[in-house]
């Protein structure tokens, strides 16, 4: 089975328009806890990338209030398609120069592949390929959701009707007034 970038990419990257101010971009980075923003046009075509260090440089130099992300973005960035081979991307991450790549389909941004995505994939593949080391290690069956209604104590109600199991309330001084 051949793994592709589309199999494990992060979908829904954080995007901004080219006219977004650098101050607003800093707020967006902080709110979404990401390290770069993807600059796209109105129909989602990728125009460039604004890394956090470019916004930091603009902020520290005092140029952030006048700058837009279009002025700060990098335009020459390597991209991959969802059909790209995962091993090819892993080799580029191994070299250490990149930590993430945009994923585009027909020019439109559809996701991001990060070094962390590749590491998580490797961990999953390692668990799948590793043999069971102890005979006591059994594969547990997943819990199934029950369609039966449950009481407050999480015991399923059984019997022909639920109403038959509900007890009437005792009359108290408050309810008889």
pLDDT digits (tens, 9 = 90+) for 5-14: 888 888 888 9
The predicted model gives 21-41 an average pLDDT of: 90
Q: Pull the structure tokens for residue 110.
A: 């559809």
CATH class for the region spanning 5-129: alpha beta
First to last CA, the chain: 73
Return mean pLDDT, the chain: 78
- 47 pLDDT above the threshold of 80: yes
**Alpha carbons 125 and 136: distance in angstroms, whole number:** 22
% of the chain exceeding 70 in pLDDT: 72
Mean pLDDT, rounded, for 96-125: 86
Q: Tokens 């140029």 correspond to what residue? A: 63
106 has a pLDDT exceeding 80: yes
Given a cut of 80, is residue 173 above it in pLDDT?
A: no
Is the pLDDT confidence value at 138 over 70? no
- pLDDT of the residue at 162: 47
pLDDT at 61 over 70: yes
CA dist 40 and 36 (Å) reads 13
Structure pTM? 0.66
Mean pLDDT confidence for 45-64: 88
């Amino acid at each position: 089975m051949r793994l592709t970038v589309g199999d494990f990419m992060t979908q829904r990257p954080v995007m901004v328009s080219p006219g977004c101010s650098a101050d607003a971009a800093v707020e967006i980075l902080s709110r979404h806890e990401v390290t770069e923003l993807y600059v796209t046009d109105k129909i989602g075509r990728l125009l460039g990338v604004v890394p956090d260090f470019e916004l930091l440089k603009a902020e520290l130099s005092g140029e952030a209030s006048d700058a837009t992300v279009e002025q700060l973005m990098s335009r020459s960035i390597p991209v991959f398609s969802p059909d790209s081979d995962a091993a090819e991307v892993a080799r580029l991450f191994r070299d250490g120069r990149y930590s993430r790549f945009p994923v585009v389909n027909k020019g439109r941004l559809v996701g991001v592949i990060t070094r962390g995505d590749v590491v998580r994939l490797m961990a999953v593949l390692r668990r799948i390929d590793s043999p069971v080391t102890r005979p006591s290690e059994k594969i547990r069956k997943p819990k199934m959701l029950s369609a039966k209604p449950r009481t407050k104590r999480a015991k399923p109600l059984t019997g022909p009707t639920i109403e038959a199991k509900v007890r009437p309330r005792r009359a108290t001084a408050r309810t008889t007034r």
